[in-house]
Amino acid sequence: MQTHILGFPSVGKYRELKQALESHWKGEASPESLLNTASELKKRHWQIQKKAGLDYVSTGDFSLYDRMLDISCMLGAIPPRFLPCHGDAPLDKYFSLARGDIQRNIPALEMTKWFDANYHYLVPEIDANGPWSGSEHPVLADTKEAKSLGFSPKPALIGPFTWLALAKAQGSALKWPRLQSIVAEYAALIEKLAPHCDCIQIEEPVLCTELLPDAAARQFPSMYAALNEACGGKKLMLATYFGALGEKLELAVNSGCAVLHIDLARGKGQLEGVLAALPASMALSLGIVDGRNIWKADYARQHHLIEQALSALGRDRLWLGSSCSLLHCPVDLSEENALPEHIKTRMAFAVQKCAELTALRRIVETKSDPALAENTAVLQAAAAHADSRIAAVRERAAAVSPADLSREAAYAERRAAQGWLNLPLLPTTTIGSFPQTAAIRKTRLAFKKGDMTEAEYEAAIRCEIRDCIEKQEALGLDVLVHGEPERNDMVEYFGQQLGGFCFTQNGWVQSYGSRCVKPPVIYGDVYRKAPMSLDAILYAQSLTTKPVKGMLTGPVTILCWSFVRDDLERSEVCTQVALAIRDEVQDLEKAGVHIIQIDEAALREGMPLTRAEAENYLRWAVDAFRLASSGVANATQIHTHMCYSEFNAILPWIAEMDADVISIESSRSGMELLDAFAEFHYQAEVGPGVYDIHSPRVPTVEEMEALLRKALRHIPKERLWVNPDCGLKTRQWEEAWPALENMVAAARRVRENLEYID
Ligand code: GLN
Ligand code: ZN
């Protein structure tokens, strides 16, 4: 039985790569020093894998920015707008693609989510003008180096079908006719790699989705035949992950590859079907250690799966691996020294997951390894811990009835009841946060470090809130916000106040490039201890006669941006969070806050990859939002916000959320998505963003006026709101102020001329 992982996180346990990249970008560190750090990290990670007893160490998993970009560079898939960078040094060219070239005003490649993970990749662009000449993929040098250092490398590449399926064709260019020449480039690389390794991992997660067109799927066998031929007798491992193979099982087992890797964390039920279909020439790698969470594997359960595969295949045809790359989990649990012991014993980060794989092999091979009993005892103790199961929380969740999921009346009636809010036509508002200035960050840090008393901190935050209200009054906005100066992060802020959550010190996970996130951990039953947002909102409201929106993060977003316990269904965890938010909503209403926004920024991205699973998810996710939001009177107005625009497919579900007002991102797409809203006969109010807050550019009055006029073609004036695309947290006041001034002016101009709009 061979053991391996699909990849190790690049970033380093202290985020060394982040630091090295950022000082290089600032011009403080030479290319050599960046490459030095990278090389040290790679060696350290190989050492970890070897020390754990894995049979292979992963190469090609490390990237200076993004592995999809690395393939794009190898293929020379560089859009023509980067032509001016062609003569630059290789590293400068690479980072221009990733981050854009500000001096030459060349925008970066687009970035988007890697399937349903929180990692973001750079979207390849296929241009009609054809590819430039490619450059050598760094995996080759890394593999040679690993080998020369005495490791047994397994190079890993994102496969050609996945790369192309995720690429975007520009203009008249077509993607799939390029397949053959792309596969030829892969074959050339494989040929060069083969002498330095025994096995090459080609990742095709696209096989676990519905993204591969039939015409492309038909070419799969011949293309993989070419790749296998290039291997020259060495093994090719076809790695699939993030789901079950489903309909693509046929393709995978007939690929001619020596090893097939399947994900048994996400594709739980697929083992039996795969075993039945696997040809005798193929070995199977079981992805049994979950690469997407932070929990220990359940050895007893996994042991059982391994035995099942073992009796069908024998040990020579069986591999044990991580379900996907460990990129999606933090690096090393032993760095954590503030976690409660009963939680820490349940956890495993990347370093620990490597060891789990070899422990599982020992358990199966020796049949009497103490690790099994130890693991069972730990998990049983965790399950028995008082935080894991709180009777009152369970009872309340079980008692949720359909009535709890519905507002008293339908939208039309609520609309009339909300008339007392006396808002003008085309009311202006913002999404919640205002610029998080250096001063605010300093205040928060000082408080965290203990250099500031709680009273001093509260006073400083109040000062910010007051300033924010004064600014909004001066700007002439209609519905105000408190500005969220007390929130470092919209999920962490609530997580810190809820029962069932805990926080790591170093649990960083790469989000993209040098950016990392440290997701909260939901380890136990979730409940609200006390009101969470009332002080700030009520203070803000006390300063103005204009309405101040209460600002909350929705249950689905809290769930999607956390590491979630794996001993309870996600839908059930979500219900618990929703009940906590529901209490907060009701307390806000009782305290006189009658406009309440519940952000569901992550609802779309949490969607599973196949239609059937997506339907199921949307049902419980939308219900969770309804549970959180529907405990208020008709006269209270519920807003929600989403910061993306690919709505078309889920619009019926957005309508099902039954919010009174929804604000959405749309300025960059020129209000295109409103067609879909009109076509669907969306009933409630809509605030399509007119100001792209992701750019430092200040939009003009005319631009925003034009967007509003365009919006009015799809949304009647009684139901249109005026707001930016998203929160202003990352902007400077120098940009936000004039942009909001222009936005308010644009709304006024359109209001004054409403009779001329048909
Ligand atoms: N209310 C949040 C803010 O303004 C919403 C952020 C988001 O949608 N990502 O910052
Ligand atoms: Zn947003």
How do residues 258-301 score in pLDDT, each as one tens digit?
Answer: 999 999 999 999 999 999 999 999 999 999 999 999 999 999 99
Pocket lining: 487 vs ligand 1, CB cutoff 6 Å: no
| pTM of the predicted structure, to 2 decimals | 0.94
Question: Residue whose CA is closest, atom 6 of ligand 1?
Answer: 727
Backbone angles phi, psi at 740, to 5 degrees: -70, -35
User: Is the distance from the beta carbon of residue 729 to the nearest atom of ligand 1 less than 6 Å?
Assistant: yes
Architecture of domain 391-397+411-752: Alpha-Beta Barrel (3.20)
Ligand 1 centroid to Cα of residue 440, in Å, is 17
For the chain, counts of helices (H) and of strands (E): 28, 22
* Nearest C-alpha neighbor of 116 from the set 752, 665, 560: 560
Tell me the CB-side half-sphere exposure of residue 540, using CA atoms within 13 A: 32
C-alpha span between 393 and 582 (Å, rounded): 13
In the chain, what's the furthest Cα-to-Cα distance? 83
Ligand 1 centroid, distance to 109 Cα (angstroms): 24
CB atoms within 10 A of CB 136: 12
For 2-10+43-78+111-384, CATH gives 3.20.20.210
Tell me the C-alpha distance between 106 and 723, whole Å: 28
What pLDDT was estimated at residue 127? 84
Phi first, then psi: give them for residue 722, nearest 5 degrees.
Answer: -120, 120
DSSP 80: G
Choice among 45, 594, 641, 694 that is catalytic: 694
Cα-Cα-Cα-Cα dihedral sign, residues 202, 207, 211, 217:
positive
From the CA of 643, give the closest atom in ligand 1: 8
Question: Which pLDDT score is estimated for 133?
Answer: 78
Contacts of 427 (CB under 8 A, 6+ apart): 478, 479, 721, 722
Q: What six digits make up the tokens of 563? A: 């590491």
Distance 723 CA to ligand 2 centre (A): 11
Q: What angle do CA 502, 505, 507 make, to 5 degrees?
A: 85
Assess whether the C-beta atom of 720 lies below 6 angstroms from ligand 1.
no
Outline where DSSP puts E strands in 165-279: 168-169, 199-203, 235-239, 259-263
Element (H, E) at 59: strand 57-59
* Residue 63 near residue 95, CB atoms below 8 Å: no
Ligand of minimum distance to the alpha carbon of 687:
2
**In this predicted structure, what is the pLDDT of residue 523?**
97
Is residue 694 part of the annotated active site? The answer reads yes
Report which protein residue has its CA nearest ligand 1's atom 5: 727
Which ligand has the minimum distance to the alpha carbon of residue 725? 2
| CA–CA distance, 246 with 250 (Å, rounded to integer) | 9
Q: In what order do the strands lie in the sheet with 259-263?
A: 2-4, 318-322, 283-289, 259-263, 235-239, 199-203, 153-158, 57-59
Topology alike, domains 2-10+43-78+111-384 and 391-397+411-752: yes
How many CB atoms neighbour CB 618 within 10 A? 23
Nearest atom in ligand 1 to 729's CA: 10
Contact 616, 659 (CB under 8 A): no
Decide if 155 contacts 131 (C-beta within 8 A): no
Query: Is the torsion defined by CA of 670, 673, 676, 678 positive or negative?
Result: negative
CB of residue 182 inside a 6 A radius of ligand 1: no
**Residue matched to tokens 């070897």:** 50
- Quote the pLDDT of residue 131: 63
For residue 693, the one-letter residue type is I
Among residues 40, 47, 52, the alpha carbon closest in space to that of 12 is found at 40
Identify the residue whose C-alpha is closest to ligand 1 atom 8: 601
Domain segments of the chain as ranges: 2-10+43-78+111-384, 391-397+411-752
Distance (Å, whole) CA 682 – CA 678: 6
Q: How far apart are CA 409 and CA 314, in angstroms?
A: 62
The reply to whether ligand 1 has any atom less than 6 angstroms from the CB of 601 is yes
Do the bridges between strand 111-113 and strand 120-122 make them parallel or antiparallel, or are there none, so unpaired? Answer: antiparallel
Say what the alpha-carbon torsion angle 462, 464, 465, 471 is, to the nearest 10 degrees: 150
- Which atom, in ligand 1's list, is nearest to the CA of 641? 8
Beta bridge partners of 263: 287
Instruction: Please tell me the number of the ligand nearest to residue 602's CA.
Output: 1
Q: How many CB atoms lie within 10 A of CB 567?
A: 15
Q: Point out the residues of the chain with pLDDT beneath 70.
A: 130-132, 645, 757-758
For residue 483 and ligand 1, the question of a CB distance below 6 A is answered with no
Instruction: List CB-based neighbours of ion ligand 2 within 5 Å.
Output: 601, 643, 726
Task: List phi, psi (to 5°) of 411.
Answer: -55, -45
